[in-house]
Amino acid sequence: MKKIDYYILREFSTTFLIVSLFFTLISLIVDIFENLNRFIDNQVTMDILLNYYKASLPSMVSVTIPVSCLVSSVFTYGMMIQRKEWLVFKSSGLSLYRLSFPVLFLGLMLSIGSFYFDNTVVIENNKKKNEIKNIYMSKNKNRNQR
């Protein structure tokens, strides 16, 4: 790989991590406010609440990966155009396909990684989250039975 590829990947990766963290936090905050009444009504303790969100965090990350990848690629190339880097790359003879290859390749790797992440980590954590939800957050369930 050339230095240009590393530069584009570094710009994309930093933007991807920031955007992914932002979308995950937004998703977490929305979920907290959505379920706040249920937590209060069932008198859920802080320990159970932390376990619930620890189990639901992988699914939130999994949902935000595609959106973060799209926003990061648009933002990365948009900033390159704004800083006139795109013009320098094009005038040095690099094609559009060559400049987009690093992000496309990393997007493919993220897709494959996300597939395996979904089928291993997310499924197990969703089972734990649903178990916590069924035991501790259902009004009609008697928690003393389990």
For the chain, the average pLDDT equals 90
Beta strands in the chain (DSSP E): none
Alpha carbon distance 105, 121 (integer Å): 23
Q: Are 42 and 138 a contacting pair, CB within 8 Å? A: yes
- 142 pLDDT band (50/70/90 cuts)? low
Q: Give percent above pLDDT 90 in the chain.
A: 70
pTM of the shown model: 0.84
Radius of gyration of the chain (CA): 21
Does pLDDT of 145 surpass 70? no
Other Cβ atoms closer than 10 A to 48: 16
Tokens of 3: 């230095």
> Which pair of tokens denotes residue 125?
């954590």
Determine the Cα–Cα distance for residues 42 and 113; give it in Å rounded to an integer. 37
